[in-house]
């Protein structure tokens, strides 16, 4: 059976850690047509047209003025486009302020794209950023680029939040709890699979954790634990040669039959059917 290794685009960004490419057919095919991971952020800034992407096995369709973020390590690929104009902005993680990185982590795999107005301010920032990158002798060039990247990523993070919460962003302790929860799930889902385990690590009750996570993200805590496990399972089934038992063991399941039942219940296909369908 032919497997599809996950390409890792690593170390592609030279100083100052930013690259801007027009969303042309050539540009798309060169950098993002095959499934791959980046060690940096990618922001899709679309002014017009239609574009189709796949992010972690989920298709994301952008129509008209839109934006979308892709985080470091997230498997993604470009699928198709029609009359598309805009940019792909590649940014080193260190240039994205921590507060904005946390927002992108919070809405990863749940709310990664948003429709915007055609005259939104960040379109001007991208254009200015692109021009600045092409001027190697401009005074304070790297400082200017860092400032524009901070402004751009901040505006994108703000748009993502506003589209989810309709102008009523909660913030504060609840938001911080969700950030910490999702970080823990990402790091520990292979060993911890119960809401109560994460609630214990956060020193809160399972009921409160579920309520807060659902309030911020729209889904209960258990949903995110399941989604992280399923995402890793799909990656292993698609990109590795491990058999079903080995996949289950890799994900922390000693009983592979239990894993198989869980996978079928959540996905609607057995693990073997999912693998066969995607090859």
- Residues with Cβ within 8 Å of 78's Cβ and at least 6 positions away in sequence, in order, are 28, 29, 32, 33, 51, 52, 53
- 145 lies in the same domain as 68: yes
CA-nearest of 123, 122, 110, 134 to 56 is 110
CA atoms of 251 and 256, how far apart (whole Å): 10
Residues 25 and 44 in one domain: yes
Residues 116 and 233 in one domain: no
- Where a domain ends, among 165, 197, 227? 165
Q: Are residues 158 and 182 in the same domain?
A: no
d(CA 122, CA 119): 9
178 and 161 in a common domain:
no
Given a cut of 50, the residues of the chain with pLDDT beneath it are 1, 26, 167-168
- Predicted TM-score (pTM) of the model is 0.76
Instruction: Assess contact for 89 and 129: CB atoms under 8 A.
Output: yes
SS3 142: helix
Residue 196 counted as domain residue: yes
Q: Give me the long-range contacts of 31-35 (CB less than 8 A, separation at least 24).
A: 31/88, 32/76, 32/77, 32/78, 32/88, 33/77, 33/78, 34/7, 34/77, 35/4, 35/6, 35/7, 35/75, 35/76, 35/77, 35/239
In a domain, 133, yes or no: yes
CATH code for the domain in which residue 59 is found? 2.60.120.280
Instruction: Report the pLDDT value the prediction gives residue 167, as an integer from 0 to 100.
Output: 44
Q: Are residues 158 and 243 in the same domain?
A: no
Regarding whether 176 and 129 lie in a shared domain, the answer is: no
**In terms of residue numbers, what domain contains 79?**
7-165
**Does 2 fall in a domain?**
no
| In a domain? residue 72 | yes
Could you say which of 127, 147, 165 is where a domain stops? 165
Asked whether residue 34 is domain-assigned, the answer is yes
Cβ-defined contacts of 270-274 (< 8 Å, 24+):
271/233, 271/237, 271/244, 271/247, 272/244, 274/234, 274/237
Q: How far is Cα 141 from Cα 135, in angstroms, rounded to an integer?
A: 8
pLDDT at residue 191, rounded to an integer: 93
In a domain, 188, yes or no: yes
The answer to whether residue 1 sits within a structural domain is: no
Residue 66 maps to a domain? yes
Q: Check if the beta carbon of residue 231 is closer than 8 Å to that of residue 57.
A: yes
The predicted pLDDT at position 1 comes to: 44
Q: How many domains does the chain fold into? A: 2
What CATH number is attached to the domain comprising 223? Answer: 1.10.10.60
Residues 6+ positions from 233 with CB-CB distance below 8 Å: 247, 251, 259, 263, 271
74 in the same domain as 21: yes
Beta strands in 36-75 (DSSP E): 36-38, 41-55, 58-63, 66-70
Q: Are 76 and 53 in contact (CB under 8 A)?
A: yes
Neighbours of 117 (CB within 10 A): 10
């Amino acid at each position: 059976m032919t497997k599809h290794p996950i390409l890792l685009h690593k170390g592609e960004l030279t100083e100052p850690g930013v690259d801007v490419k027009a969303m042309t057919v050539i540009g798309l095919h060169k950098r993002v047509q095959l499934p791959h991971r980046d060690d940096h952020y990618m922001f899709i800034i679309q002014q017009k047209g239609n574009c189709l992407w796949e992010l972690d096995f989920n298709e994301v369709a952008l129509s008209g003025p839109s934006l979308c973020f892709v985080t470091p390590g997230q498997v993604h690929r470009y699928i198709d486009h029609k009359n598309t104009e805009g940019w792909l902005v590649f940014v080193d993680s260190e240039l994205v302020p921590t507060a904005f990185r946390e927002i992108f982590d919070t809405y990863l795999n749940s709310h990664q794209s948003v429709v915007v107005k055609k005259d939104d301010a960040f379109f001007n920032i991208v254009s200015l950023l692109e021009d600045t990158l092409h001027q190697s002798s401009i005074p304070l060039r790297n400082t200017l680029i860092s400032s524009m990247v901070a402004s751009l990523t901040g505006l994108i993070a703000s748009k993502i939040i506003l589209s989810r919460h309709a102008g009523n962003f909660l913030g504060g302790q609840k938001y911080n709890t969700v950030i910490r929860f999702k970080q823990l799930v990402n790091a520990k889902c292979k060993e911890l699979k119960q809401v109560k385990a994460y609630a214990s690590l956060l020193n809160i009750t399972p009921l409160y954790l579920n309520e807060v996570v659902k309030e911020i993200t729209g889904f209960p805590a258990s949903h995110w634990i399941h989604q992280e496990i399923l995402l890793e399972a799909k990656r292993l089934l698609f990109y590795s040669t491990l058999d079903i038992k080995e996949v289950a063991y890799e994900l922390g399941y000693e009983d592979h039959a239990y894993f198989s039942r869980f996978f079928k219940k959540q996905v609607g296909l057995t693990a073997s059917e999912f693998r066969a369908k995607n090859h």
